[in-house]
Amino acid sequence: MTTRLPAFIAPGSAPVFPPDSSALDEPNGLIALGGDLAPERLIAAYRRGIFPWYESGQPILWWTPDPRLVLFPQRFHLGRTLRRTLRRADFDIRFDTGFGDVIRACAAPRDGEPGTWITPEMIAAYQALHHRGTAHSVEVWRDGELIGGLYGIAMGAAFFGESMFSRAPGASSLALYALCERLLAYANAFIDCQVPSRHLIGLGAERVSRREFKRIRDTAVDGPGPWDDYLP
Protein backbone atom coordinates (compact mmCIF):
# COMPACT_ATOMS: atom_id res chain seq x y z
CA MET A 1 0.00 0.00 0.00
CA THR A 2 1.41 3.38 -1.05
CA THR A 3 1.18 6.22 1.44
CA ARG A 4 0.27 9.53 -0.17
CA LEU A 5 2.39 12.49 0.82
CA PRO A 6 1.62 16.20 0.54
CA ALA A 7 3.23 18.15 -2.28
CA PHE A 8 6.53 19.88 -1.52
CA ILE A 9 6.86 23.58 -2.36
CA ALA A 10 10.35 24.99 -2.71
CA PRO A 11 10.95 28.34 -1.00
CA GLY A 12 11.08 31.14 -3.54
CA SER A 13 9.24 29.13 -6.19
CA ALA A 14 6.19 30.36 -8.10
CA PRO A 15 3.09 30.77 -5.85
CA VAL A 16 1.31 27.70 -7.23
CA PHE A 17 -0.55 25.00 -5.26
CA PRO A 18 -1.65 21.50 -6.26
CA PRO A 19 -5.34 20.77 -7.03
CA ASP A 20 -7.76 20.39 -4.11
CA SER A 21 -8.22 16.72 -4.99
CA SER A 22 -4.66 16.02 -3.85
CA ALA A 23 -5.37 17.07 -0.25
CA LEU A 24 -4.95 14.26 2.25
CA ASP A 25 -7.80 12.68 4.18
CA GLU A 26 -5.50 12.14 7.16
CA PRO A 27 -4.45 14.55 8.43
CA ASN A 28 -7.59 16.16 7.08
CA GLY A 29 -6.86 18.70 4.37
CA LEU A 30 -3.07 18.79 4.38
CA ILE A 31 -2.24 19.69 0.78
CA ALA A 32 1.38 20.88 0.77
CA LEU A 33 4.43 21.65 2.85
CA GLY A 34 7.31 24.04 2.47
CA GLY A 35 7.40 27.25 0.53
CA ASP A 36 7.43 30.59 2.32
CA LEU A 37 5.12 33.28 3.64
CA ALA A 38 5.73 35.81 0.89
CA PRO A 39 2.67 38.02 0.24
CA GLU A 40 2.19 36.64 -3.27
CA ARG A 41 2.12 33.06 -2.01
CA LEU A 42 -0.29 33.85 0.82
CA ILE A 43 -2.64 35.70 -1.54
CA ALA A 44 -2.54 32.81 -4.03
CA ALA A 45 -3.26 30.37 -1.21
CA TYR A 46 -6.27 32.23 0.19
CA ARG A 47 -7.76 32.68 -3.26
CA ARG A 48 -7.82 28.87 -3.35
CA GLY A 49 -9.10 28.55 0.23
CA ILE A 50 -5.72 27.24 1.41
CA PHE A 51 -4.17 28.52 4.62
CA PRO A 52 -0.89 27.97 6.52
CA TRP A 53 -1.04 26.34 9.95
CA TYR A 54 2.04 24.93 11.63
CA GLU A 55 4.07 25.14 14.82
CA SER A 56 7.49 26.62 15.41
CA GLY A 57 10.16 24.19 14.24
CA GLN A 58 7.94 22.58 11.60
CA PRO A 59 8.01 23.27 7.88
CA ILE A 60 5.15 25.49 6.70
CA LEU A 61 2.07 23.27 6.36
CA TRP A 62 -0.76 24.26 4.00
CA TRP A 63 -4.36 23.11 4.57
CA THR A 64 -7.75 22.90 2.87
CA PRO A 65 -9.93 20.75 5.17
CA ASP A 66 -13.13 18.94 4.25
CA PRO A 67 -15.63 19.81 5.63
CA ARG A 68 -14.99 23.49 6.17
CA LEU A 69 -16.55 25.73 8.83
CA VAL A 70 -18.23 28.79 7.32
CA LEU A 71 -20.31 31.60 8.83
CA PHE A 72 -22.80 33.38 6.58
CA PRO A 73 -23.35 36.89 8.01
CA GLN A 74 -27.14 36.71 7.83
CA ARG A 75 -27.11 33.53 9.94
CA PHE A 76 -25.11 34.91 12.86
CA HIS A 77 -26.79 33.78 16.08
CA LEU A 78 -27.25 36.73 18.41
CA GLY A 79 -27.85 35.14 21.81
CA ARG A 80 -29.28 36.75 24.93
CA THR A 81 -25.94 37.47 26.57
CA LEU A 82 -24.56 39.18 23.49
CA ARG A 83 -27.80 41.15 23.08
CA ARG A 84 -27.41 42.48 26.63
CA THR A 85 -23.79 43.41 25.93
CA LEU A 86 -24.82 45.29 22.78
CA ARG A 87 -27.52 47.20 24.68
CA ARG A 88 -24.98 48.21 27.32
CA ALA A 89 -22.87 49.84 24.58
CA ASP A 90 -19.89 50.52 26.83
CA PHE A 91 -17.40 49.69 24.08
CA ASP A 92 -16.24 50.90 20.66
CA ILE A 93 -15.89 48.74 17.55
CA ARG A 94 -13.12 49.79 15.19
CA PHE A 95 -11.60 48.39 12.02
CA ASP A 96 -7.89 48.43 11.21
CA THR A 97 -6.79 50.85 13.91
CA GLY A 98 -4.69 48.31 15.82
CA PHE A 99 -3.89 45.39 13.52
CA GLY A 100 -0.50 44.72 15.12
CA ASP A 101 -2.02 44.81 18.61
CA VAL A 102 -4.71 42.32 17.58
CA ILE A 103 -2.39 39.77 15.98
CA ARG A 104 0.03 39.94 18.91
CA ALA A 105 -2.86 39.44 21.34
CA CYS A 106 -4.00 36.41 19.33
CA ALA A 107 -0.45 35.02 19.52
CA ALA A 108 -0.17 35.43 23.30
CA PRO A 109 -0.28 32.29 25.52
CA ARG A 110 -3.74 31.21 26.67
CA ASP A 111 -4.93 29.21 29.67
CA GLY A 112 -1.47 28.14 30.74
CA GLU A 113 -0.41 27.09 27.24
CA PRO A 114 3.14 28.02 26.18
CA GLY A 115 1.97 29.87 23.08
CA THR A 116 0.07 29.52 19.81
CA TRP A 117 0.84 28.64 16.21
CA ILE A 118 1.15 32.35 15.39
CA THR A 119 4.93 32.55 15.16
CA PRO A 120 6.94 35.77 14.77
CA GLU A 121 7.30 34.91 11.07
CA MET A 122 3.52 34.63 10.75
CA ILE A 123 3.04 37.97 12.50
CA ALA A 124 5.48 39.67 10.14
CA ALA A 125 3.84 38.06 7.08
CA TYR A 126 0.31 39.14 7.98
CA GLN A 127 1.43 42.62 8.94
CA ALA A 128 2.96 42.87 5.46
CA LEU A 129 -0.44 41.85 4.02
CA HIS A 130 -2.11 44.47 6.19
CA HIS A 131 0.18 47.16 4.77
CA ARG A 132 -0.90 46.01 1.30
CA GLY A 133 -4.58 46.35 2.24
CA THR A 134 -5.33 42.61 2.22
CA ALA A 135 -5.27 41.66 5.92
CA HIS A 136 -7.66 43.42 8.31
CA SER A 137 -8.58 43.58 11.96
CA VAL A 138 -11.79 44.11 13.89
CA GLU A 139 -11.19 45.55 17.35
CA VAL A 140 -13.27 45.97 20.50
CA TRP A 141 -12.13 48.85 22.72
CA ARG A 142 -13.31 49.93 26.16
CA ASP A 143 -12.01 53.06 27.87
CA GLY A 144 -9.04 53.14 25.50
CA GLU A 145 -8.12 49.50 26.13
CA LEU A 146 -8.21 46.75 23.51
CA ILE A 147 -10.39 44.02 25.03
CA GLY A 148 -10.99 41.74 22.05
CA GLY A 149 -10.76 41.34 18.33
CA LEU A 150 -10.02 39.22 15.30
CA TYR A 151 -8.00 39.39 12.11
CA GLY A 152 -8.03 37.76 8.70
CA ILE A 153 -7.76 38.15 4.95
CA ALA A 154 -10.38 40.00 2.89
CA MET A 155 -10.93 39.22 -0.79
CA GLY A 156 -14.05 40.66 -2.34
CA ALA A 157 -16.99 39.62 -0.15
CA ALA A 158 -15.01 36.77 1.42
CA PHE A 159 -13.29 37.14 4.78
CA PHE A 160 -10.86 34.37 5.70
CA GLY A 161 -10.71 34.49 9.48
CA GLU A 162 -7.41 33.60 11.10
CA SER A 163 -7.69 34.09 14.86
CA MET A 164 -9.60 35.95 17.57
CA PHE A 165 -9.08 36.79 21.23
CA SER A 166 -10.93 38.13 24.27
CA ARG A 167 -9.77 39.96 27.37
CA ALA A 168 -13.36 40.47 28.52
CA PRO A 169 -16.37 38.13 28.32
CA GLY A 170 -17.89 38.08 24.84
CA ALA A 171 -15.43 40.55 23.32
CA SER A 172 -14.39 38.31 20.42
CA SER A 173 -18.06 37.55 19.68
CA LEU A 174 -18.71 41.30 19.48
CA ALA A 175 -15.93 41.60 16.91
CA LEU A 176 -17.39 38.75 14.87
CA TYR A 177 -20.88 40.30 15.07
CA ALA A 178 -19.49 43.64 13.85
CA LEU A 179 -17.77 41.89 10.95
CA CYS A 180 -21.03 40.16 9.99
CA GLU A 181 -22.86 43.50 10.09
CA ARG A 182 -20.27 44.99 7.75
CA LEU A 183 -20.62 42.08 5.31
CA LEU A 184 -24.43 41.96 5.27
CA ALA A 185 -24.66 44.36 2.34
CA TYR A 186 -22.90 41.86 0.07
CA ALA A 187 -25.05 39.01 -1.24
CA ASN A 188 -22.21 36.50 -1.63
CA ALA A 189 -20.40 37.28 1.62
CA PHE A 190 -19.11 34.63 3.99
CA ILE A 191 -16.56 34.26 6.77
CA ASP A 192 -14.22 31.29 6.57
CA CYS A 193 -13.78 29.86 10.07
CA GLN A 194 -11.52 27.05 8.80
CA VAL A 195 -12.15 24.17 11.23
CA PRO A 196 -15.12 23.38 13.51
CA SER A 197 -15.25 24.72 17.06
CA ARG A 198 -18.13 24.58 19.51
CA HIS A 199 -17.94 28.32 20.14
CA LEU A 200 -18.24 29.28 16.47
CA ILE A 201 -20.96 26.73 15.76
CA GLY A 202 -22.89 28.28 18.64
CA LEU A 203 -22.63 31.63 16.86
CA GLY A 204 -24.13 30.22 13.67
CA ALA A 205 -21.18 28.81 11.75
CA GLU A 206 -21.87 25.64 9.77
CA ARG A 207 -19.98 22.86 8.05
CA VAL A 208 -19.84 22.78 4.26
CA SER A 209 -18.12 20.32 1.95
CA ARG A 210 -14.93 21.30 0.18
CA ARG A 211 -16.83 21.26 -3.11
CA GLU A 212 -19.49 23.64 -1.75
CA PHE A 213 -16.82 25.83 -0.19
CA LYS A 214 -15.11 26.12 -3.58
CA ARG A 215 -18.39 27.24 -5.15
CA ILE A 216 -19.11 29.99 -2.62
CA ARG A 217 -15.46 31.02 -2.51
CA ASP A 218 -15.17 31.45 -6.27
CA THR A 219 -18.34 33.55 -6.29
CA ALA A 220 -17.22 35.82 -3.46
CA VAL A 221 -13.52 36.52 -3.95
CA ASP A 222 -13.87 38.36 -7.25
CA GLY A 223 -17.02 40.28 -6.33
CA PRO A 224 -17.41 43.62 -4.54
CA GLY A 225 -16.55 43.80 -0.86
CA PRO A 226 -16.33 46.24 2.05
CA TRP A 227 -12.58 46.78 1.73
CA ASP A 228 -12.48 47.52 -1.99
CA ASP A 229 -11.50 51.16 -1.41
CA TYR A 230 -9.33 50.56 1.65
CA LEU A 231 -6.09 52.51 1.70
CA PRO A 232 -3.75 51.54 4.58
**pLDDT, tens digit, 9 for 90 and up, residues 146-162:** 999 999 999 999 999 99
Identify the pLDDT of residue 231: 73
So what's the architecture of 69-221 in CATH?
Answer: 3-Layer(aba) Sandwich (3.40)
Identify the pLDDT of residue 1: 46
Cα separation, 85 vs 68, in Å, equals 29
Cα separation, 167 vs 121, in Å, equals 24
* Segments making up each domain of the chain, as ranges: 7-65, 69-221
pLDDT tens, 133-148? Answer: 999 999 999 999 999 9
Cα separation, 94 vs 97, in Å, equals 7
Identify the pLDDT of residue 112: 60
Identify the pLDDT of residue 5: 85
- Given a contact cutoff of 8 angstroms between Cβ atoms, the answer to whether 130 and 114 are in contact is no
Low-confidence ranges of the chain (pLDDT < 70): 1-3, 111-115
Looking at beta carbons, which pairs linking 74-77 to residues 24 or more positions away fall under 8 Å?
74/180, 74/184, 75/204, 75/206, 76/176, 76/177, 76/180, 76/203, 76/204, 77/202, 77/203, 77/204
**Topology classification of domain 7-65:** Alpha-Beta Plaits (3.30.70)
- The alpha carbon of residue 136 and the mean position of all alpha carbons in its chain are separated, in whole angstroms, by 10
Angle at the Cα of 11 from the Cα atoms of 5 and 6, rounded to 5 degrees: 10
